[in-house]
A = this chain, B = another copy of it.
Amino acid sequence: MNEKRNRSKVSGTKNDRLTIYDIAQELHISIATVSRALNGKEDVSDETRKRIMEAAREMGYKASRSASSLSRKEKRFAVLFPELIHDYNNEIRRGIEKEVEELREYHLSVDMLTIQGDPEIFASKLRELSADGYDGAIVLSSVGEARLSELLREMKLSRMAVATVTTDLDRDVRVFNVQSNGGVAGRMAGELLSLLTGPGAKAALVTGQLTSQVHKSTAEGFLEEARRQGLEIAGIYEHYDQPAKAYECAETVIREHPDLSGIYLATANSVTFCSRLAELGYAGKIKLVASDVFPKMIEFIRSGLVYATIFQNPFDQGRLATRYLFEHLVEGREFGGNRILLDPQIVIRSNLELYEKKLLDVMSEDVLF
Question: Are B74 and A13 touching (Cβ within 8 A)?
Answer: yes
Q: How many whole Å from A348's CB to the nearest CB in chain B? A: 6
User: A365 to nearest B CB, angstroms?
Assistant: 7
Question: A45: CB under 8 A from chain B?
Answer: no
**Are the CB atoms of A367 and B320 closer together than 8 Å?**
yes
List B contacts of A316 (CB < 8 A): 367-368
Given A340-B366, A343-B366, the answer on whether A351 and B184 have CB atoms closer than 8 Å is yes
How many subunits of this chain does the assembly comprise? 2
A190 within 8 A of B: yes
A60 interface contact, C-beta 8 A: no
A227 to chain B, nearest CB (A): 12
Q: Which of B70, B72, B368 contacts A320 (CB 8 A)?
A: B368
Residues of chain A at the chain B interface (Cβ within 8 Å): 11-14, 64-67, 69-74, 105-107, 181, 184, 187-188, 190-192, 195-196, 225, 313, 316, 319-320, 323, 340-346, 348-351, 353-354, 364-369
Residues on B with beta carbons closer than 8 Å to the beta carbon of A345: 345-346
Contact A70 B71 (CB under 8 A): no
From B106, B190, B342, give the contact of A367 (CB < 8 A).
B342
| Contact partner, A343, options B13, B350, B351, Cβ 8 Å | B351
Assembly CA distance A96 to B205 (angstroms): 42
Q: Which residues of B contact A67 (CB under 8 A)?
A: 66, 70
Complex CA distance for A369 and B72, rounded to whole angstroms: 24
Q: In the complex the two chains form, is A342's CB within 8 Å of B323's CB?
A: no
Find A369's partner among B13, B348, B367 (CB 8 Å cutoff): B367
Of chain B, the residue at the smallest CB distance from A365 is B340
Q: Within the assembled complex, what's the spacing in Å between the Cα atoms of A74 and B17?
A: 12
A-B contact pairs, 12 of them (CB 8 A): A12-B73, A12-B74, A13-B73, A66-B69, A187-B350, A323-B369, A340-B366, A343-B354, A343-B366, A345-B345, A346-B348, A367-B369
Cβ-closest 5 pairs across A and B: A368-B368, A12-B73, A66-B66, A368-B369, A187-B350
Given A188-B350, A368-B369; 17 other pairs, CB 8 A cutoff: A11-B73, A66-B105, A66-B106, A70-B70, A184-B350, A184-B351, A184-B354, A187-B351, A191-B348, A192-B348, A323-B369, A340-B366, A342-B366, A343-B351, A343-B354, A367-B367, A368-B368
Query: For A340, what are the chain B residues with a Cβ–Cβ distance below 8 Å?
Result: 364-366
Q: Tell me the bound Cα distance from A354 to B184 in angstroms.
A: 9
Query: A225's closest neighbor in chain B, by CB?
Result: B350
Query: Which residues of B have CB within 8 Å of A190?
Result: 350
CA–CA, A188 and B353, complex, Å:
11
Q: Given the complex of chains A and B, what is the CA–CA distance between A324 and B349 in angstroms?
A: 30
Q: How far is the CA of A336 from the CA of B343 in the complex (A)?
A: 31
Complex contact A350–B191 (CB within 8 A): yes
Cα separation A105 to B17 with both chains bound (whole Å): 10
Residues of B within 8 A of A354 (CB): 181, 184, 343
A16 CB to closest chain B CB, in angstroms?
Answer: 10
Q: Is the CB of A13 within 8 A of B71?
A: yes
Given the known interface contacts A188-B350, A354-B343, the answer about A64 and B74 at a Cβ–Cβ threshold of 8 Å is no
> A188 to B67, alpha carbons, bound, how many Å?
46
Contact B188 A351 (CB under 8 A): yes
CA distance A60 to B193 in the complex (A): 52
Chain B residue contacts of A11, Cβ below 8 A? 71, 73
Q: Are the CB atoms of A346 and B343 closer together than 8 Å?
A: no
Residues of B within 8 A of A313 (CB): 367
